[in-house]
Amino acid sequence: MNEDLLAKISQEVESREAELIELLTALIAFPTVSPPARNTNEVQNFIKDYLEDLGFNTDKWEVYPGDANVVGVLSGKSPVGFNSLIVNGHVDVAEVGDHSDWEESPFSAYCKEGHIYGRGVADMKGGIAASLLAIKLLKEMGISLQGDLQFQSVIGEEVGEAGTLACMERGYTADYAVVVDTSDLHIQGQGGVITGWITIQSKETHHDAMRRKMIHAGGGVKGASAIEKMMKIISGLQELERHWAITKNYEGFPAGTNTINPAVIEGGRHAAFVADRCALWVTVHFYPDEDYEEVIKEIEQHIGAVAAADPWLRENPPQFVWGGKSMIVDRGEIFPSLEIDANNPGTKALANSFEKLLTYQPTVGMSTTVTDAGWLGRAGIPTAIFGPGKLEDAHAVNEKVEIRQLLDFTKVLAVFIAEWCNTRKEQ
């Protein structure tokens, strides 16, 4: 792309600042809070219409009642020989809670001192609005694409409902993907997260009065409190967590980022009984070069050894249930990890577009949070997280994003789309 066209795209974005703010304000006005979720159909219809006006063929389907994905495909002129691209973003936003600490309504976006405020401006309707505008200006400038461009507007990211996974299961793919989630314009990969339930269930239930016979010499009752036995499991998890901290590492992450958090414990049935059941809900963070299935195996093997060393747990071993498709429906979630390959042609092209437009090199590294990007990577699609907004502003009271950053992101993405989708596939 020559310098004149780069300058023209940059100028075009600058001239459309008011249009960008208007589009983002419209998206923020849809209160797509999750939880409770089941509230995204209206905003998805808005995005579907926007894409269709730009010539996209669209596919809209409900992942859950009231929560639909929208995928738009703009067919390239020569898709067999040229690179295809997915631009991905989620329309659900974090809980708001008590509105009293907000300067104005969370769903009435407003501008102040170079920022736009509102729930979701940083995470991540700002990225969606800027992406849509980038695509629109390319069309209006007459810049055609040889490869296919796909826009995925998904649901459920805030509560692990993995609308992006539903896109993968529906067969959508491309040569590269950009998840336009909160990254402060850094090009990023991520670690992963999986939740799990570890449950101890006694084969017998004993009245509270039997406890003396279960714990004192000569009592003769081979029983135990599931709550007390869970203490051994928790201790075993802590030992494994410490082992991981000293034996595993990944560049870009502080030591010990791979944690096992005993987040919720549920046990017992009544004060008149010895607890015959106890369930522990854990959250496990792992590194970008680890797969959650291997992490699960490590934990189960270690806890299996802990249980084998205990006479009662050997006969009442802990049971495991991992992951899930919704923190709302089945109280579980998975966010696969994502390694970022700085030498991948797509990543290099994105970084090159960044440098051309903003005249400095982008930061390529790792996100300290998790996004849907891992599902794209797990499907075999080279992927990067790249979007406007800072993590400290995401989910925050008076959530904000810098307008200058929105404009810069729009420029970079527009140029990247134009260059990537007009580059021949590598043989």
DSSP state of 361: P
Runs of H (alpha helix) within 29-81:
41-53
Tokens 């809670």 identify what position?
97
Q: Rounded distance, CA 307 to CA 315, Å? A: 9
Q: Rounded distance, CA 38 to CA 159, Å? A: 12
Q: Rounded distance, CA 24 to CA 39, Å? A: 18
Return the C-alpha torsion angle 175, 150, 153, 290, nearest 10.
Answer: 0
Q: Which residues contact 392 (CB under 8 A, 6 or more apart)?
A: none
**Three-state secondary structure call for residue 185:** coil
For residue 189, which of 63, 336, 13 has the smallest C-alpha distance?
Answer: 336
What's at 144, amino acid-wise?
S
Report whether the peptide linkage leading into residue 36 is cis, meaning its omega lies within 30 degrees of zero: yes
Angle (CA) 354 151 118, round 5°:
75
Tokens 């691209």 identify what position?
85
95 is catalytic: no
DSSP state of 330: T
Which residue in 92, 181, 290, 408 is the catalytic one? 92
Which residue in 157, 372, 399, 408 is the catalytic one? 157
Q: Alpha carbon of 53 to those of 56, 57, 136: distances in Å?
A: 7, 10, 9
92 is catalytic: yes
**Three-state secondary structure call for residue 195:** strand
Neighbour-count burial of 113, counting CB atoms closer than 10 A to its CB (0-12 exposed, 13-18 middle, 19+ buried) = exposed
Q: Rounded distance, CA 317 to CA 298, Å? A: 16
H or E element, residue 348: helix 345-358
Q: What number of H helices and E strands is found in the chain? A: 12, 16
For residue 137, which of 127, 129, 125 has the smallest C-alpha distance?
Answer: 129
Q: Alpha carbon of 75 to those of 151, 309, 318, 397: distances in Å?
A: 11, 61, 52, 40
State the catalytic residues. Answer: 92, 157
